[in-house]
Amino acid sequence: MLRILEQKDTSAYETLISGLDLSPYAQLHISEATENDGVKGFIVYSYTPEEVTIHALDDGGDLNQCDGLVRSVLFKAELKGIERAVFLVNEPAMRQRLELLRFVKNDENVLENIANIMDSCKSCKENRTNS
């Protein structure tokens, strides 16, 4: 079973982290998608009082894993009262998956209202054709 858990030990990501342009006030976090046989993907993100920023994302090419990783971060941002998300992910295939999942659109990198995208997920559960 796939689990998405925040990774407190970021030493495996030090090279990636050192290349990020972070605000001195940003709270950096990493969550990993794991299964029985290890790490399947990760997401690197930071919070400021105004927004959550997605700095890096590796979903192993799996659309469902991409959705789960991003939604877990957006959910945590919502709990903190943050409404805005910025995606600094520029890899073309990843951008395509983010657009397909409606996290970004029209070559923009900002999601202005996290609640709208999270609320749209609730209607999926209510639609019996998705079961």
The pLDDT tens digits for 56-115 are 999 999 999 999 999 999 999 999 999 999 999 989 999 999 999 999 988 889 999 999
Predicted confidence band at 121 (pLDDT cuts at 50, 70, 90)? low
Structural domain spans, the chain: 3-130
- Nearest one of 67, 57, 71 to 16, comparing CA atoms: 57
CATH architecture for segment(s) 3-130: 3-Layer(aba) Sandwich (3.40)
Name which of 67, 59, 4, 7 is nearest 33 in CA terms.
Answer: 4
Mean pLDDT of the chain: 87
CB 32 within 8 A of CB 5: yes
pTM for this model (two decimals): 0.86
Given a cut of 70, whether residue 125 has pLDDT beyond it is no
Radius of gyration over every alpha carbon of the chain, rounded to an integer in angstroms: 15
- Provide the residue type at 119 as one letter: D
Rounded CA separation 89/96 (Å) = 11
